[in-house]
Chain A
Amino acid sequence: MAQMMIREVIVDTIRSEMRRDPDVMMLGEDIVGGMGTAGGPEAIGGIWSTSTGLWEEFGSNRIIDTPISESAIIGSAAGAALAGKRPIAELMFADFVGVCMDQIWNQIAKFRYMFGGKSRCPVVIRLIYGAGFNAAPQHSQAVYSMMTSMPGVKVVMPTTPADTKGLLTQAIRDDDPVLFFEHKALYGVKGEVPDGDYTIPFGHARQVRAGEHVTIVAMGMMVGLAERAADLLAKDGIGCDVIDIRTTSPLDEEAILDSVELTGRLVVVDESPPRCSVAADICAMVARRAFAALKAPPEMVTPPHTPVPFARELESAYLPSPPKIMDAVRTVLAYR
């Protein structure tokens, strides 16, 4: 076991998968970094440093620095995947998934279904998402809820270095398209990472805390906030079961339902706005399948139904936080 940051885990995992399988390749804007601006390959490894050193090892045929065109990146990745490669495409900002939505939504997600199961499209799209950087509405969004509603793709949201390794390895080896959501604020998170081959099958939630009063379901960046809230509440004698769902599609319904049947109370924390969100989806699923177990209406902790604000003060008011989660937990406990 090594102590690694999530950013290092991503580079490390891509590197070992590229060494293992010559069909694995990577493409994206600036993933080599500043290529040609000073007359030669100035490889800085992308603005997120999630491809540092890959170009030096694998060269321009497998690490492709692309122009600023998300449609081109995703379209090329789709074609390469159909032709037998295992491309990893990087969207520097998930917000721009809109311009390549046809490639994802109408093509990548549909190939296997439209060709009677005879074709496969093993593409991994890494989407860097999330707010908290004062980066304004077009560079801060959590678009995973929209993508989760789309049949034909798997949606993965790692939160720890170990999970990042296990889930990214699984994603690269998966024969179906995977949308891999990486939160900007988590790149510096350090933790133990298992050595050697390590995969985590999709659709298995991780139990983060084990309490009996309230179930808190969270994903991505929100898991850490839920952990903080649960730890503070535990000091007050309130035990929260915290579940990191890891993949929003497929969803580990059993883990959520098992917990709610024990606690009878649910709080879902989600970074995307509330309407048609993963939080709304989970609340609906629990209301429908665990109605008899519920002791209080499910609560959601989400941003409001607005774009992400630019001002720091507004942005922090916009985002879920441990105090907001604690308030929601106390609300479901106060239900009469």
Chain B
Amino acid sequence: MAALKPFAMPKWGIEMTEGTIAEWLVAEGEPFERGKVLTAIETDKITNEVEAEAPGQFARIVATPGQTYPVGALLAVLADGPATDAEIEAFLSTFKAADALGSAGRDTAPPVPPEPAPAAAPAATTIPDDVKISPAARRLAEDRGIDVGAIAGSGKGGRISLQDVDQAGRPPAAGYGGAPVSIAVEDGDIETVYASPLAKRLARQHGINLSGMPGSGPRGRICKADVLAKLPPAAAPAPAPTMSQAPAAMRPAAEIVPMDKIRRIVARRLTEAKQAIPHFYVRMEARADALVALRAQANLFLGARISINDFIVRAAALALVEEPECNVQVHGDTIHRFAYADVAVAIASDKGLVTPIVRNAEALLPQEIGERTKVLIARAAAGRLSHEDMDGGSFTVSNLGMFGVDGFDAIINPPQGAILAVGGSRRVFAEQADGSGAFESRIAFTLSCDHRAIDGAAGARYLAALKRLIEAPEALFRR
């Protein structure tokens, strides 16, 4: 009789959910020593060799090289000696994959409470029609793969209830009992005073005689308050903290406003984005004095009204061309790269948050971006943005600088690969290149990247390019 153990897909790092068996380096039934390399497993990031933690052999190899398996999945059955097929089959039928986030790998998570191995296969089962069981109990038992044959139903004629099935699927209750306990009642058998147990205990503690005391509890029962009233007053009690606010009942109830359609869509998409996309954030500040001066000059010479944001959109687009790894959309397992930069601009309108697109922003001069953006803002305010105005884009610029915020982190607008959050211009006293100190204007940028497509270094290179363009803004006017 060999002792069998599962050899399961390990979990290396928090984001690993599956791995691919590259090859098996030990054959079924071939004994190996501790430290022997058993297999190589590829993940999204790395390929690792797995060494034997103890001498043994594979009683059965389950996983096929080249195939991908979730974390915790059974890859092979380890044995300390030769095992019979029957033993292996019995082991396989009771194996239960550990939770993907559980204790399967090297990341030790809190242990999952031990579930009793279900008598039948854990997969969903079908219960014969002639079993006496309530409809909800049948569904639960089928879903959880619980063997109802082992349940003694608590209903009429042994009918099985939902509670019976629920109980059968739980681990046994903590045991009670052990050393004898005393259950004697302290007041003895014959009662002459009718008081609550708490009042009696207080009376014993303070040596108060309850007989003849009038009770204010139900049916004249002496209660805690009656006993406490007999106690000598304690030293002046600390004054109770006063409520500075009106009681909740006095305040008007909250106004309940149902979400309108746009708000519902925004809520759903942002929730999905924040939950599904592995965001990471890169931050950088850029000196904005040159940009501010150039904008004043340009508006004067061109007679235009270019905003700081128009320059930033232009810079963001040029930086995307420079750093194409950030100029992407993510669609499932594929990454779409673009030769042009369609940059979305986040606009807070009365109708809600919208992100229309400035197309080919890399090819537009700041004043052209400004004109395009004004059109989009007007359409957003009128609620007349078309599908074409909104569709696509690989990148969003969200600017809250006009509100004076220092900076913030934005949620990616899928399927775009990244979003740039722009803070306000701040005056900062800083060391200059010549070692002297002077005030300068700075804008803080936070780039949120979808880590499925963009790595940290690419995000950092992108921000460096952006900073260079902002700090030497003349380039923004070059076609």
Chain A residues close to B by CB (< 8 Å): 160, 162, 191-192, 194, 198, 200-204, 206-211, 213, 230-231, 233-242, 250, 252-255, 258, 297, 333-336
Contacts and interface: CB of A to CB of B under 8 A. Distances in A.
Give the secondary structure class of B's interface.
Answer: loop
Contacts of A237: 176-181
B254 interface: no
Contacts of A334: 172-173
Contacts of B217: 254
Interface in B183-234: 183-187, 189-192, 194, 196-198, 217-221
B94 interface: no
Interface stretch (B6-14, B163-171, B379-387): B163-171
Contact of A239 (B170, B183, B197, B219): B183
Nearest to B168: A336
Interface in B95-118: none
B83 to A, nearest CB: 34
B436 interface: no
A204 B170 contact: no
B163 A297 contact: yes
A238 B172 contact: no
B221 A234 contact: no
Nearest to A334: B173
B432 interface: no
A191 B188 CA distance: 13
Given A209-B183, A336-B167, A201 B194 contact: yes
Given A213-B176, A254-B221, 16 more contacts: A160-B189, A192-B189, A194-B192, A198-B192, A204-B191, A204-B194, A207-B187, A210-B185, A231-B183, A237-B179, A239-B183, A242-B183, A333-B173, A333-B176, A334-B172, A335-B167
Contacts of B218: 203, 252-254
Contacts of A253: 218
Contacts of A206: 191
B245 interface: no
Contact of B196 (A203, A258, A336): A258
A204 B221 contact: yes
Closest 8 CB pairs of A and B: A336-B170, A237-B178, A209-B183, A237-B177, A211-B183, A236-B177, A203-B219, A239-B181
Contacts of A200: 191, 194
A118 B80 CA distance: 91
A210 B167 contact: no
B186 to A, nearest CB: 7
6 contacts: A236-B180, A237-B181, A250-B219, A258-B196, A333-B173, A333-B176
Interface size for chain B: under 10, 10 to 19, 20 to 34, or 35 or more residues? Answer: 20 to 34
B185 A207 contact: yes
A240 B173 contact: no
B220 to A, nearest CB: 6
Nearest to B190: A162
A242 B221 CA distance: 19
B275 interface: no
A253 B163 CA distance: 27
Nearest to B194: A204
Interface string B138-182: 000000000000000000000000010001001111001111111
Nearest to B170: A336
Contacts of B167: 335-336
Interface of B: 163, 167, 170-173, 176-187, 189-192, 194, 196-198, 217-221
B184 A209 contact: yes
A32 B243 CA distance: 72
Contacts of B185: 207-210
B219 A258 contact: no
Residue among A191, A202, A239 with max Cβ neighbours from chain B (10 Å): A239
B320 to A, nearest CB: 58
B170, B180, B187, B217: most-surrounded residue (chain A CB, <10 A): B180
A231 B184 CA distance: 9
Given A238-B177, A258-B196, A210 B219 contact: no
B196 A254 contact: yes
Contacts of A208: 185
A29 B239 CA distance: 69
Contacts of B190: 162, 192, 194
Contacts of A160: 189
Contacts of B171: 336
Given A207-B185, A254-B217, A254-B221, A335 B173 contact: yes
Contact of B183 (A162, A194, A230): A230
A162 B192 CA distance: 10
A170 B209 CA distance: 24
A157 to B, nearest CB: 16
Given A334-B172, A336-B170, A210 B186 contact: yes
A231 B181 CA distance: 9
Contacts of A240: 183
B176 A238 contact: yes
Nearest to B176: A333
A210 B184 contact: yes
A46 B186 CA distance: 39
A102 B322 CA distance: 101
A65 to B, nearest CB: 34
Nearest to B221: A204
Contacts of A297: 163
Contacts of A210: 183-186, 197
A335 B154 CA distance: 13
Given A204-B219, A333-B176, A336-B171, A211 B189 contact: no
B156 to A, nearest CB: 11
B201 to A, nearest CB: 11
Contacts of B172: 334, 336
Contacts of B186: 210
A242 B172 CA distance: 26
Nearest to B166: A336
A194 B211 CA distance: 15
A213 B174 CA distance: 12
A234 B182 contact: yes
A181 B412 CA distance: 77
B221 A336 contact: no
B173 A202 contact: no
B194 to A, nearest CB: 5
A194 B193 CA distance: 13
A115 B179 CA distance: 60
A260 B163 CA distance: 21
B197 A238 contact: no
A230 B186 CA distance: 16
Given A236-B180, A237-B179, A336 B219 contact: no
Q: Among the interface residues B183, B185, B194, B219, which one has the most CB atoms of the partner chain A within 10 A?
A: B183
